[in-house]
Structure 1
Amino acid sequence: MDATLPAPPMGALPRWTLVAGRALSGLTVLFLVFDGAIKLAELEVVRETMEPLGYSASLSRGLGILTLVIALLYALPRTALLGAVLLTGLLGGAIATHLRVGSPVFSHLLFGLYIGLIAWGGLWLRDPRLRALLPLR
């Protein structure tokens, strides 16, 4: 038995959902590339923000590479779902870190949730297979 869902024809999606999905996904990719790049560049702002969160600044390069890999996986249509799942894990770790150190709720703690909602919303809007798997009722 084949467990894969057949993809509905692309014409089945209204054009606005495809455009909105690509826009939200593009914002997600831009944020991830920016975040990964500043960690790879080892900017002072990265060192200043990682240490109060309880992480050594030496971890920034690895986090930057991980973030860029996730951005690439999310940006490519064939691996976008895997990228979204990995991004969810990364954002969950960020939320847990901010919860642990008592960061402000709406600006820091929930920021990962905001990015996750944008990423999954963009993917849901642009991918008919995900819409079939997770229909809104």
Structure 2
Amino acid sequence: MEAQTLYLNKKAPSKAANVTGWVITAICLLFLLFDAIMKIIKNVYAVQGSIKLGWPEEQITGLGVVLLIATIIYAIPRTAVLGAVLISCYLGGAVAIMSRIHEPYYFPIVFCVLIWAALFFRMPALRALFPVQSQQQ
């Protein structure tokens, strides 16, 4: 019964929270689209960076396609949570690769937090699942 009422809570976010969520979403989407497209078209800097991380050149386009699909799924409001999960998986791989080669891996972690923070601001169901303050009765 409690889980049922959790999802029925349709209290809309405040205007400030909604705008903040969409601004963070837009910034993240722009970065992800840029990164995906640079990998797909095999931009020289994207290829050099990926090879430095240990990726074979023939796999870079595939990584770009995977990232592009996850980004498109994240951009659609109805599938944004699934997109955030897929992007989190992608960024988890980035953390693993960066730590394997002893490079700083804070950026993928911070970026993943931003992906979820944007949804947290926009979606009442996520705020209900992960309340920041205790519910008073």
State the TM-score, normalized to the length of structure 1: 0.89
Q: Note if contact 1:46-1:57 (Cα within 8 Å) is conserved in structure 2.
A: no
Q: Secondary structure at the match of 1:9?
A: coil
Of the candidates 110, 115, 119, which is equivalent to residue 114 of structure 1?
110
- Unpaired segments of 5 or more residues in structure 2? none
C-alpha displacement of 1:68: 0.8
C-alpha displacement of 1:3: 5.5
Q: Secondary structure at the match of 1:55?
A: coil
Residue number in structure 2 paired with 1:136? 132
Residue number in structure 2 paired with 1:47? 47
Structure 2 Cα separation of the partners of residues 46 and 77 of structure 1? 29
Residue number in structure 1 paired with 2:14? 14
Residue number in structure 2 paired with 1:70? 70
Q: Secondary structure at the match of 2:10?
A: coil
C-alpha displacement of 1:57: 1.2
Return 46-55 or 79-88, whichever deviates more: 46-55
Question: Do the aligned partners of residues 8 and 77 (structure 1) sit closer, same or farther apart at CA in structure 2, a change above 3 Å counting?
Answer: same
Q: Secondary structure at the match of 1:45?
A: helix
Aligned residues: 131
C-alpha displacement of 1:116: 0.6
Aligned-residue identity in percent:
33
C-alpha displacement of 1:6: 1.6
What is the RMSD of the two structures over their aligned residues, measured on CA atoms? 1.5
Question: Do the aligned partners of residues 73 and 7 (structure 1) sit closer, same or farther apart at CA in structure 2, a change above 3 Å counting?
Answer: farther
Residue number in structure 2 paired with 1:34? 34
Structure 2 Cα separation of the partners of residues 50 and 69 of structure 1? 19
Residue number in structure 2 paired with 1:91? 91
Structure 2 Cα separation of the partners of residues 64 and 128 of structure 1? 31
State the TM-score, normalized to the length of structure 2: 0.89
| Partner AA of 2:101 in structure 1 | V
Q: Note if contact 1:38-1:46 (Cα within 8 Å) is conserved in structure 2.
A: yes
Deviations 1:34-73 (A, max 9, x none): 0000001101112211122111011111111111111111
Q: Note if contact 1:70-1:83 (Cα within 8 Å) is conserved in structure 2.
A: yes
